[in-house]
């Protein structure tokens, strides 16, 4: 640390210098985050000092959190959802597995997931000392139900399905998983970190939420397709007693118990998420998601015209292509299988897609 303070202008010119090195989102086709909605930013800033880790001090913000959980719950077909705002999909997934383990209480717990699962499950199982059992995917990059049962045994504390996979944007056969979990009384966690703010706004989307009896908990991230500020995730669950199982006593806080993983928790993103949900409403989200899906289709069709087929048909606005080279100046990513992967987030417009396709067409020239 410098001995004496530095003039504010100097600090901000230094910060601007760093900010200029950050990528602008316009040519970024790899991210699952986007430019937050201005209403979310305004609400976030209004609650900048709010700490949900001590909800008695920030009773108003805590109310907003309850409302956010309730609104997301309604979207997921559960009117009296319980849950809380996390710092994103990773935290939600860790907590879901923690809760699942506490319900089943096995000495050597294992968790059965598709191999397409996000790497946050690896972290969760490492922290919780669970065995992670990865089931191969079928030709559509969905969990292969013909072999799934071989991976389940009496120590299976949780099965996970993905609603909008990170790499291929597909939804696992969750109705099937729900039936298995209902029959065997196994906790079913759905990772809808990405798809949770896409699928409810699509016509004919596959079922993935609490409408299915076997679903126990869902991760949904307002900071991805929810147009909110970072970090805002949400873990919602069917049964309020689930959150009792992770409670610890917090004698010197304004509340006596806390079920969350983090202690200090930002209130700003929660206010941002709720504000943008209310501001846009269902019709606003349908419009945004509709545009993203149309752009995804435009990209898939355009790539096919150039001879690059999509690897599998996605259910959400993610696409992966059999295309070995990436165009210069663009940020795309690669799946574990080497496919070029793109995400049509709200910052990606028709014009951007056309410009991208033009640059792809010139790759080998």
Q: Which of positions 214-253 make contact with ligand 0PR (CB under 6 A)?
A: 221, 233
Compute CA distances 260 → 66, 83, 250, whole Å: 14, 9, 11
For tokens 């210098």, what's the residue?
17
Nearer CB in complex with ligand 0PR: 25/155: 25
Among 84, 168, 187, 194, binds ligand 0PR (CB under 6 A): 194
209 is a site residue for ligand 0PR (CB under 6 A) = no
Which region among 12-20, 177-185, 188-196, 296-304 touches ligand 0PR (by CB under 6 A)? 188-196
172 is a site residue for ligand 0PR (CB under 6 A) = no
Nearer CB in complex with ligand 0PR: 191/209: 191
How far is the C-alpha of 100 from the C-alpha of 347, rounded, in Å?
36
Among 31, 182, 294, 361, binds ligand 0PR (CB under 6 A): 31
295 is a site residue for ligand 0PR (CB under 6 A) = no
DSSP β-bridge partners for residue 188 = 159, 215
342 is a site residue for ligand 0PR (CB under 6 A) = no
Cβ–Cβ < 8 Å for 269, 50: no
The per-residue DSSP string of 298-365 comes to HHHHHHHHTT--BSS--SSSEEEES-----TT-B-EE-TT--EEEE--TT--HHHHHHHHHHHHTTT-
Closest distance to ligand 0PR from the beta carbon of 141 (Å): 13
Closest distance to ligand 0PR from the beta carbon of 61 (Å): 21
Among 61, 120, 178, 229, binds ligand 0PR (CB under 6 A): 120
Which region among 6-14, 88-96, 249-257, 269-277 touches ligand 0PR (by CB under 6 A)? 88-96
Nearer CB in complex with ligand 0PR: 125/193: 193
The per-residue DSSP string of 105-160 comes to --SS-EEEEETT--THHHHHHHHHT-EEEEEPB-TTSSB-HHHHGGG--TTEEEEE
Closest distance to ligand 0PR from the beta carbon of 313 (Å): 18
Closest distance to ligand 0PR from the beta carbon of 93 (Å): 6
For tokens 């610890």, what's the residue?
248
Burial class (CB in 10 A: 0-12, 13-18, 19+), 232: buried
33 is a site residue for ligand 0PR (CB under 6 A) = yes
88 is a site residue for ligand 0PR (CB under 6 A) = yes
Cβ–Cβ < 8 Å for 212, 181: no
Which region among 83-91, 147-155, 252-260, 281-289 touches ligand 0PR (by CB under 6 A)? 83-91
Q: Which long-range contacts (CB under 8 A, 24 or more apart) does 304-313 make?
A: 306/357, 306/360, 306/361, 308/340, 308/360, 311/141, 311/168, 311/335, 311/337, 311/339, 312/139, 312/140, 312/141, 312/168, 312/170, 313/140, 313/170
Among 37, 44, 70, 118, binds ligand 0PR (CB under 6 A): 118
Q: What strands, in cross-sheet order, belong to the sheet with 340-343?
A: 318-321, 340-343, 333-334
Nearer CB in complex with ligand 0PR: 253/262: 262
Nearer CB in complex with ligand 0PR: 44/54: 44
Instruction: List contacts with ligand 0PR (CB under 6 A).
Output: 31-33, 88-90, 93, 118, 120, 162, 166, 191, 193-194, 221, 233
């Amino acid at each position: 640390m410098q001995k004496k303070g530095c003039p504010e202008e100097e600090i901000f010119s230094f910060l601007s210098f760093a900010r200029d090195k950050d990528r602008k989102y316009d040519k970024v086709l790899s991210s699952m985050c986007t430019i937050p909605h201005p209403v979310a930013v305004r609400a976030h800033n209004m609650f900048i000092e709010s700490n949900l880790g001590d909800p008695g001090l920030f009773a108003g913000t805590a109310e907003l959190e309850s409302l956010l959980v309730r609104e997301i719950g309604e979207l997921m077909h559960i009117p009296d959802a319980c849950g809380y705002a996390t710092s994103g999909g990773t935290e939600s997934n860790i907590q879901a597995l923690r809760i699942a383990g506490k319900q089943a209480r096995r000495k050597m717990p294992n968790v059965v997931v598709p191999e397409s699962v996000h790497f946050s499950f690896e972290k969760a199982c490492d922290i919780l000392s669970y065995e992670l059992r990865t089931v191969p995917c079928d030709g559509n990059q969905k969990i292969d139900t013909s072999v799934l049962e071989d991976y389940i045994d009496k120590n299976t504390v949780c099965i996970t399905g993905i609603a909008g996979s990170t790499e291929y944007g597909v939804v696992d056969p969750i109705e099937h998983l729900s039936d298995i979990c209902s029959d065997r009384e196994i906790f079913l966690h759905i990772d809808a970190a990405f798809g949770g703010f896409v699928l409810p706004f699509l016509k004919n989307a596959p079922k993935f939420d609490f409408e299915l009896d076997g679903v126990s908990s869902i991760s949904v991230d307002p900071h991805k397709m929810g147009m909110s500020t970072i970090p805002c995730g949400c873990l919602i669950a069917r049964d309020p007693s689930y959150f009792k199982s992770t409670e610890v006593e917090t004698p010197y806080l304004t509340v006596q118990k806390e079920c969350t993983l983090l202690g200090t928790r930002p209130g700003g993103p929660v206010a941002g998420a709720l504000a943008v949900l209310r501001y846009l409403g269902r019709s606003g989200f349908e419009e945004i998601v509709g545009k993203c899906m149309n752009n995804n289709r435009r990209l898939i069709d355009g790539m096919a015209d150039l001879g690059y087929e999509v690897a599998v048909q996605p259910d959400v606005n993610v696409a992966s292509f059999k295309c070995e080279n990436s165009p210069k100046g663009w940020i795309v990513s690669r799946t574990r299988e080497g496919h070029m992967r793109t995400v049509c987030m709200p910052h990606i417009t028709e014009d951007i897609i056309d410009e991208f396709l033009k640059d792809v067409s010139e790759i080998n020239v």
